[in-house]
Structure 1
Amino acid sequence: MFWEKAYPWCNKVIQIANPNPFDGVQIDAKINNKVLLSVGHLLDIKGFDYLLRAWAIVHIQRQDWTLRIVGSGPKKEELESLAQELKITNIQWVESTKDIAQYYLSSAVYALSSHSEGLPMVLIEASSFGLPMVSFDCDTGPSDIITPSCGWLVMPLNIDDLAAKLLQAFDLFDSNEKYSVYSQASIDNAKRFTLENILSRWDTLLNE
């Protein structure tokens, strides 16, 4: 565990996640509408420039897919300029919104390209909406959420590997049946982060 390596003098480290804010959301059978979603503040640490560079590779082969980025921030104009420089056309820019659920519902796969994370709630949220996930395997967070049954972990900050994993996912999901399997696995995965399960872990810890 990352914290055990960082603080070797601690003889006991307990990891308890935050609860899923979309706990209990009901999802009908998910449809692969070929939209890749990424949500977050448009800051350097979120690595959207890495995602755009990977997408420039992906969209050459898979122009049937669209990248949707939901977020606002100081890097927006720079990122939009980069997308133009990379000649990316199949992209949607959406301002930050409190009604984020509609974008999870209308997307098919989630991508996270952050340099670092704590516990990325966007992955838990995406999972609860049945989105398979592709994410950089940064030091903390993604590997605690994503399992092989519902997504792919990518070498940190490796644009070529991110593009390759996205293409692998898209090729696999040309089969609606396989997409449904991954989507259901993602929904099941999110159940680990229900409020009931998180409170149970706190109760056990405080009563030891």
Structure 2
Amino acid sequence: MPRQLLVTPDVASRTQIAAFASQLAQALARGTRLVQLRNRSLDADGYRALAESALALTHAAGAQLILNPPHDVADRWLDVTGGALAATVPQADGWHLTSERLMACDTRPAHWRLVSAACHDAAQLAQATRLGLDFVTLSPVLATTTHPDAPPLGWPAFTALAEQTSVPVFALGGMRAETLSTARNAGAYGIGAIRAFWPAA
């Protein structure tokens, strides 16, 4: 599994998908091989169009795509008891659970080769471990403009939490490409970021 996870920035409307695809293609050309398609603005049809565009690009580059749709879309597409809903879901490589959905799961979501989750504390990490997830993000490690009100963990607390799970942990929040060695020394498998890995418009 790659050591760097690109979390994509939000796409507010379907008219922005072409520009998004151009920037994603640049990120893939620079070596990105693991992408989380995060969105909180589009409806189901819009997110499906975004995912289909991203899938074509990531798979052509030999990269993997993890879906992280808006909450209402996830409610339609994913059954937290483990099955998939009837809606036609893009055939991505995996699914990313929010921390709230992670804690509501009784079993690992079915039909996905990779399942990841957002974790912020020991209880969430324990749940991810119990479900046998493939990796988690643990955040925020450092101060981040994406979530300015969230108090950062700092590296010592990150290390203490990461030691509590056997699941690979990606450090998220304030990460840059050059932070990878620091993160690895602190017990991370890799790092995740939006701004650090996303090309400028």
TM-score normalised over the length of structure 2: 0.30
Report which of the two has the higher share of helix.
1
Relative contact order: is structure 1 or structure 2 higher (C-alpha 8 Å, sep ≥ 6)? 1
Report which of the two has the higher share of strand.
2
TM-score normalised over the length of structure 1: 0.29
